[in-house]
A and B are shown apart, each in its own frame.
Chain A
């Protein structure tokens, strides 16, 4: 986080405004939260806005979460950003696909604030350590 804003910056990507609102309610006390409701906007924000971590929905109209993740990982400026997929209960079939694409982890719905925070903190710390070694 070598920039003007002090709190980690999380990008929430989901086509559902309700999910975005819910996640924002969980995250805003600790993080700076940006959001996108589609893949292209998410990619643009990831490139422009110095994002520390991305929470990414898989099933979205147009570009799905897998494709967003793939594009993030091939782009040098965004490849380091940890991506955590958000998935519905029992929808973990795609876990292998997501991890193969470079996703750092999964968070399963229903979203529990303690779990969301724990996963995010873990991956922010890991990325901080990685960036020190780069």
Chain B
């Protein structure tokens, strides 16, 4: 745009407006719309461009932080072409069963945990929590195991008390 080719900037600005709107980045969409209007009317685009830049930075920073703290959805993990990934319903039901067994101090929790562990193996970001749960079961300290399971459920966004 500084090189006087502002008309070429219209298409990416329009695309940005649409994409931002589709992911609820309303301020980015709004300022992209202002910039697009300025380009089309050949009016001063410097202010709308600055505003778009500011909003875009805020969204990108925010999404970067969200990516760091949000575990990837369990369904998204396709570990190989032969493996269709983790069925979230199965994981959900195993975690609820494990929770009930832990509340009973029932050692069938071991088998249930091994099944759950095989479903969750390889998912990034939860390995430490699975190890902590395994250790608490072995000790056996089921109060700690319950805490570890609660943490794991929180990371996977699973409600243990539906």
Contacts and interface: CB of A to CB of B under 8 A. Distances in A.
Interface residues of B, number: 10
Most chain-A CB neighbours within 10 Å: which of B106, B110, B139, B141? B106
Interface string B9-27: 0000000000000000000
Contacts, number: 30
A76 interface: no
A20 interface: yes
Contact of A45 (B104, B110, B141): B104
Contact of A34 (B104, B138, B141): B104
A33 B107 contact: yes
Interface residues of A, number: 14
Nearest to A21: B140
A30 to B, nearest CB: 12
B56 to A, nearest CB: 56
A24 B109 CA distance: 12
B136 to A, nearest CB: 11
Contact of A36 (B105, B108, B139): B105
A34 B107 contact: yes
Contacts of A48: 104
Contacts of B105: 34-36, 41, 45
Interface in B32-64: none
Interface in A4-35: 17, 20-21, 24, 28, 32-35
Contact of B140 (A32, A35, A49): A35
B58 to A, nearest CB: 52
B140 A17 contact: yes
A48 B138 CA distance: 24
Nearest to A35: B105
Contacts of B141: 17
Most chain-A CB neighbours within 10 Å: which of B104, B107, B108, B138? B107
Given A17-B140, A35-B140, A45-B104, 4 more contacts: A17-B141, A33-B106, A34-B106, A49-B106
